[in-house]
A and B are shown apart, each in its own frame.
Chain A
Amino acid sequence: MLGRLVGLETEYAIRFAPAAGKRAPGNRAIYRALAEAIGREVSVLPGERRGGEEGRFFTESGASFCYEHLPIEPEGGLIEAGTPECLGPSQLICHQKALDRLLEKAIPVAQQILTERGHPGELGLLKNCRDAEGHIYGAQENYEAEVAKGLALFAYRASLVIVLPLVAIHCVIAWALAIVMMMLLLCVGLPLLGLAAWLVPRWRPSIATLFDQDDSRFERTTARMLWGFDRVLSSVTTAIAGLPFRLFAFRRQRRALLGFLVSRCILTGAGSLAADGRFGLSEKGPAIRRIMRVTAAPGDRPLFDTGNLLKELFGILQLRFSSYTRLFERCQRLQLGLSDSNVAQIAEYLKVGTTSLVLHMAEAGLLEDAPRPRRPIAALHAFAADPGLQARAPIVRRAPMSALEIQRYYLDKAREFLRSTPTPSLEAQELISLWGDVVAELERAPSRLFGVLDWPTKLALVERCGENARAAVRKKVDLRYHELGVGYYAALESNGLARRIVGDQEIEEATRTPPEQTPARLRGELIRQVARSGGEGSAGWDRVRLGKRFRGKVIPLRRP
């Protein structure tokens, strides 16, 4: 019932307060220090090189870290951590907490490394989705799901074949552009700079700063140019090449899940103070712009994100043909862009658990009459903006419903499903019971869920500052609530004021132990093996290479 592969990707924002008179290092240098610190704690193996990723490595638990940034902002990136593929929500919550724990332990070590490299200061990481200026980043959820079946599966596969020539043309143009740009740079740009430096000596320092390793304006400028070309090219091709996904992928699940997902923020919202000072349930919810991704641009912000499938499709650009053929498999990764980063364990568990369960019911055809909001994005925004839980949204062929009523519908369906299942899993029973308790408490008084769900907890902390508190003070509560180890939720948890469902020992074990019966198991074992033997290798989500690049033995990772 809950036995599907699930995973979370979480972006952590970096906070660095340099010591008096010192300069903060770029985020890239901070990431390198954190990566080094994690490598001292657990066995790691570098990731296989893939475009757009930097510094990826995998740990012996099968998890992965990388430095995620846009080409135009190499020093302004975030730490991305991906859980290993887990079999069900309880495994996943444990491994997500293990990633938080690894980073928490790495912070003081990385701080020391940075001090030794001339950057003394205080380092922190925030597991959140929105900064003080409203920039959005954060979490994504991944669920293994049947992409389509019957005629729809045939149409999906056929359309993948039809769009292939377009993808190939895109690749040829992209490569040609990159080559032309490089030639112009090497044959015209660099000689001109050299000539300028030779003719005008006082320009030399300025020209030298272009190539400064810590703050390379040259790198940023060239990346900005290439990024600009790529965006123009990609916006056209991804809009067309992404049609197989928009038209045929996960149609059944999307239809059945829509009402559930737009109302889910009452359970899983992290809470957020908007620029006007009003408190909303979700950090990401208000930023969601569309139901399905249309272009590859980060600002697309869809609820269902097909970015992972588009990456596979355009893997051809990096000569990864196997990523294209993998798209033809029946099971694919359904990715949700609408996902807040939770620090409350129960909120995070409910997020993945209830979604897995609803997906299961959708695939079993039990949600044909699920409430469908007439305007889903407007409904999401209305629910996310209403901590009173009174907002109602128009529903197709039904009276308007509140988020609580929609959740109640799915909960009742889950209970019905549980009763009709001859041998329901213990975990499913516990999950539904927990879901029921939380919905009942939300109906009674959300404030009773202090220390259980994120948004009621954060709301109570913000209110505690008083009505007359300055906006900056209230916003600090909003942000520092999420800081690993020393944040406000961490303070509640360490004082026993927040409920936990996984203990310290399990979390500690999960930092080193990959989840059973998943591809992560073999990955983790191989990483440990290579690390202990002192050999070379690299890891990926779908394979591990033992030995040197192009020469080593490649071991594919499949679900056992």
Chain B
Amino acid sequence: MGMEPAKRVTEDATESEARERPLAETVLNEIAQDAQRDPEAYLEQTRVPEGGE
């Protein structure tokens, strides 16, 4: 299993951040919008019954 090098965690942080910022804004806005959509129903759908745990 060839793993990608661990250095990716910190490499080129500034450069990659600048490149990713507009995309990140879009994705984060989409997530925030989705979270507004009927959250109560979502919480109910994902409820694990008592004892099911």
Contact = CB atoms under 8 A, between A and B. Distances in A.
B23 A70 contact: no
A136 B5 contact: no
Contacts of A400: none
A362 to B, nearest CB: 23
A430 B51 contact: no
Contact of B53 (A136, A438, A470, A501): A136
Given A76-B49, A461-B31, A506-B1, A433 B23 contact: no
Contacts of B41: 17
B35 A480 contact: yes
A431 B5 CA distance: 10
B9 A76 contact: no
A442 to B, nearest CB: 11
B27 A500 contact: no
A452 B27 CA distance: 16
Contacts of A298: 53
Interface residues on A, range: 35 or more
B32 to A, nearest CB: 5
Interface stretch (A44-52, A150-158, A471-479, A525-533): A471-479
Contacts of B32: 461, 464-465
Contact of A73 (B40, B46, B50): B50
A416 interface: no
Given A13-B46, A477-B31, A77 B52 contact: yes
| Residue picked from B3, B43, B45, most chain A C-beta under 10 Å | B3
Contact of B1 (A133, A470, A502): A502
B51 A76 contact: yes
A298 B48 CA distance: 14
A297 B48 CA distance: 18
A346 interface: yes
A501 B48 contact: no
Contacts of A433: 6-7
A508 B30 CA distance: 28
Interface in A292-348: 298, 346
Given A434-B6, A491-B31, A501-B6, A476 B43 contact: yes
Nearest to B24: A497
A495 interface: yes
Contact of B39 (A137, A430, A472): A472
A78 B46 CA distance: 11
B31 A488 contact: yes
The range of chain B's interface size is 35 or more
Contacts of A16: 45
Nearest to B8: A499
B27 A431 contact: no
B48 A135 contact: yes
Nearest to A483: B46
Nearest to A486: B34
A506 B43 CA distance: 34
B14 to A, nearest CB: 11
A465 B31 CA distance: 9
A477 B35 contact: yes
B20 A496 contact: yes
B42 A476 contact: yes
A342 to B, nearest CB: 15
A111 interface: no
A131 B6 contact: no
Interface string B1-37: 1111111111001000000100110011011101110
A159 interface: no
B40 A472 contact: yes
Contact of B36 (A473, A502, A506): A473
A132 B31 contact: no
B9 A452 contact: yes
Contact of A137 (B4, B9, B53): B53
A448 B5 contact: no
Contact of B47 (A133, A427, A434, A465): A133
Given A27-B52, A69-B52, A499-B8, 8 more contacts: A15-B42, A132-B44, A441-B9, A470-B39, A474-B35, A479-B46, A480-B34, A488-B31
16 contacts: A70-B51, A76-B51, A90-B3, A93-B3, A131-B43, A132-B47, A346-B9, A430-B5, A430-B6, A433-B6, A461-B28, A476-B42, A477-B35, A495-B24, A501-B3, A506-B2
The 9 closest A-B pairs by CB, nearest first: A76-B52, A76-B49, A434-B6, A476-B39, A73-B51, A472-B39, A132-B43, A135-B53, A430-B6
